[in-house]
Structure 1
């Protein structure tokens, strides 16, 4: 089943070219992390074995902290930069655009996929991918003796876990702990502001033709629920259900959220859709377009996404 971030990003590729992630796969059991030999900190780089278990049960062990890293998705690139590893990154995808420094790094992935030949030529110590990745590409990396690690966080907790794992694998344990603490503090600050608020009925549009919602178990459903949103798609049976106009009007959201996946998608264009004039969110001008690079990337800015959603649902609290 398609996961929210992968679906949202593929949609964005078709429209704006935000970035591409891997193919659909089923759920995977994540094993416990393999204990690292000794407690690692930034000062210990080069003296420890760096070992984790990734999100697909693969044990990845490095004999020293990686000096040459390739990141094939923007979310992982943002994590690496947030941990102070920007100078070690030697390759990224064409879709990486944050922070600004990443624009100067060689591009090894684009709309057609990853340039595995160039990736091998760059001789990375570590390749960081999102999802299981491409089976043939993974085989070629193994064949070339190049270590790769795969993550697919599905919640805020899992994003924090990914940051912690990348920190351990790259010798940036202290930096990861600091970043996680800052994220938790920010999240607690946001949640304290909306504590006790009356939930508001919310709809999150994943795509418009056909109309698709963020349903139960999706990442956006978690964000909306955390900040006092009553997701009108919560009772559907899948994570990304299709909605027809009659359903939307019947459930009548007070707040309508989406991201800018097409240049022509605006508050005005959404409000002008046939039948939408009967929806409270349209009548009361509660349509909000969110930054897709923030709300679609499972990385350090995910708490910013939480705050954006909170401000859209409860604007009076954040004035």
Structure 2
């Protein structure tokens, strides 16, 4: 009996150990004893990931949605009655008030290095932070260049932590099939020079080699003219962009003000950009914020860009 009792204890301990959930988190390890029952998600793109995995019943609050963006009817339907705790960046108090076990956010996606809300400031309240992988470069410059794995791996990580790995794997598998079909059509085509612009400004805010649009442009059969920027999102100069003579433009459309059309008009009147091939030929597409930050909307956005750049192929 003593031997059987001892064996039961050993097996019980082994079972408890195997229930632990661990995923990579910007090079560190994020560990849970069990899947969280209460989470807060920041921003449209990460919320879309959670919705795609059917996690609405685990979300006790959203942050960073209405302060910047106009939501779609589909987003509103999926959100239901989930409250928004803060329209832009949350405070520690906003988060602690709903007692979450996890905050899904990123650097400059709800958190700022040295800011009030960071994994370190949330930890004393029992809140663990899953960090959006694209944003890790702000804390660790030794990161690989962007690929679509930024999306795939984050959805897989979220699925693992939340106990819906099978759903995550199914989503990622389908997305990879979609991208393979696009890439097969554009593989032998010339790759247009593409410039992404986040609105009119004195200096262009755009995507460098660590931002997911860099990988999206490549997947759509183009070349990002700001690929050499050693950052994810950052500022270039109009002279440098004009010198690269982009042939196609991706314009971020916030659905407020004049949107992407207003941005294109700005470029038509710009002293150097008006002379680029993309502006002269009117070759551009407007994409929403959630289509250009890591999230499920990336896949259809790649299809849109590929179709606009290579209309004869689609």
Give the TM interval when normalised to the shorter protein: 0.7 to 0.9
| TM-score, structure 2 as length reference | 0.75
Distance 1:280 1:121 in 2: 52
The yes-or-no answer on 1:308 pairing with 2:284 is no
Structure 2 counterpart of 1:106: 83
Deviation at 1:286, TM superposition (A): 0.9
Task: Render the CA deviation track for 1:229-250: whole Å, top value 9, x for unaligned.
Answer: 13333456666452234x4444
Deviation at 1:169, TM superposition (A): 0.8
| TM-score, structure 1 as length reference | 0.73
Structure 2 counterpart of 1:85: 55
CA separation of 1:108/1:228 partners in 2, compared to 1, >3 Å: closer, same or farther?
same
CA separation of 1:231/1:87 partners in 2, compared to 1, >3 Å: closer, same or farther?
same
Structure 1 counterpart of 2:140: none
Greater relative CO (CA pairs within 8 A, separation 6+):
1
The yes-or-no answer on 1:194 pairing with 2:194 is no
CA separation of 1:70/1:237 partners in 2, compared to 1, >3 Å: closer, same or farther?
closer
Structure 2 counterpart of 1:166: 158
Larger Rg: 2
Structure 1 counterpart of 2:265: 268
Distance 1:279 1:163 in 2: 38
The yes-or-no answer on 1:142 pairing with 2:138 is no
CA separation of 1:130/1:238 partners in 2, compared to 1, >3 Å: closer, same or farther?
closer
Deviation at 1:126, TM superposition (A): 2.3
**Equivalences, count:** 270
Deviation at 1:219, TM superposition (A): 2.8
CA separation of 1:230/1:173 partners in 2, compared to 1, >3 Å: closer, same or farther?
closer
RMSD of aligned residue pairs (Cα, Å): 2.8
Q: Secondary structure at the match of 2:295?
A: coil
8 Å CA contact 1:213–1:243 kept in 2: the answer is no
Q: Secondary structure at the match of 2:294?
A: coil
Deviation at 1:313, TM superposition (A): 1.9
Aligned pair partner of 1:52 in 20, 23, 29: 23
Structure 2 counterpart of 1:224: 217
Deviation at 1:212, TM superposition (A): 4.2
Distance 1:237 1:68 in 2: 36
Q: Secondary structure at the match of 1:263?
A: coil
Deviation at 1:172, TM superposition (A): 0.5
Deviation at 1:168, TM superposition (A): 1.0
Deviation at 1:301, TM superposition (A): 1.9
Q: Which runs of 5+ in 1 are unaligned?
A: 1-36, 39-46
Q: Secondary structure at the match of 1:258?
A: strand
8 Å CA contact 2:203–2:235 kept in 1: the answer is no
CA separation of 1:264/1:50 partners in 2, compared to 1, >3 Å: closer, same or farther?
same
CA separation of 1:145/1:301 partners in 2, compared to 1, >3 Å: closer, same or farther?
same
Distance 1:181 1:150 in 2: 23
Aligned pair partner of 2:245 in 233, 236, 252: 252
8 Å CA contact 1:73–1:92 kept in 2: the answer is yes
Deviation at 1:258, TM superposition (A): 1.7
Task: Render the CA deviation track for 1:134-183: whole Å, top value 9, x for unaligned.
Answer: 56433443222233322223531122111111111111011111111111
Structure 2 counterpart of 1:290: 287
Distance 1:61 1:308 in 2: 38
Distance 1:235 1:84 in 2: 37
Distance 1:238 1:120 in 2: 32
CA separation of 1:60/1:151 partners in 2, compared to 1, >3 Å: closer, same or farther?
farther
Structure 2 counterpart of 1:42: none
